[in-house]
Amino acid sequence: MKFFIDTANIDEIREAASMGLLDGVTTNPSLVAKEGKNFRELLNEILEIVDGPISAEVVSTDFKGIMKEAKELAAIHKNIVIKIPLIQEGIKAVKALSSEGIKTNVTLCFSASQAILAAKAGATYISPFVGRLDDISHSGMQLIDQIVTIYRNYGFETQVLVASIRHPLHLVEAAEIGADVATIPFGVIKKLFNHPLTKSGLEKFLSDWKTLEE
Give me the active site residues, please. 83
Length of the chain: 214
Question: Which DSSP state fits 129?
Answer: B
- What is the per-residue burial (b if ≥16 Cβ within 10 Å, else e) of 54-68? bbbbbebeeeeebbe
Residue number, 74 or 181, with CB nearest to ligand G3P: 181
Does 9 interact with ligand G3P (rule: CB under 6 A)? no
Contact, 5 vs 12, CB < 8 A? yes
Which one among 132, 150, 178, 190 touches ligand G3P, defined by CB under 6 A?
Answer: 132
For the bound state, the minimum distance from the C-beta of residue 196 to ligand G3P, rounded and expressed in Å, comes to 26
Q: Please list the alpha-helical segments (H only) found in 77-182.
A: 88-99, 112-120, 130-135, 140-154, 168-177
Q: Which stretch binds ligand G3P (CB under 6 A): 58-66, 70-78, 128-136, 188-196?
A: 128-136
Element (H, E) at 52: none
Q: Which of residues 44-63 bind ligand G3P (CB under 6 A)?
A: none
Please name the residues in contact with 206: beta carbons below 8 A apart, sequence gap of 6 or more: none
Contact, 26 vs 5, CB < 8 A? yes
Torsion sign across C-alpha atoms 19, 24, 26, 31: positive
Does 129 interact with ligand G3P (rule: CB under 6 A)? yes
Q: Which stretch binds ligand G3P (CB under 6 A): 114-122, 124-132, 146-154, 199-207?
A: 124-132
Q: Which stretch binds ligand G3P (CB under 6 A): 8-16, 45-53, 129-137, 144-152?
A: 129-137
Does 28 interact with ligand G3P (rule: CB under 6 A)? yes
Does 114 interact with ligand G3P (rule: CB under 6 A)? no
Residue number, 101 or 162, with CB nearest to ligand G3P: 162
Does 79 interact with ligand G3P (rule: CB under 6 A)? no
Which one among 29, 52, 122, 131 touches ligand G3P, defined by CB under 6 A?
Answer: 131
Angle at 183 between CA 177 and CA 186, to 5 degrees: 125
Distance, CA of 134 to CA of 143 (rounded, Å) = 11
Binding site for ligand G3P (CB under 6 A): 6, 26, 28, 129, 131-132, 163-164, 183
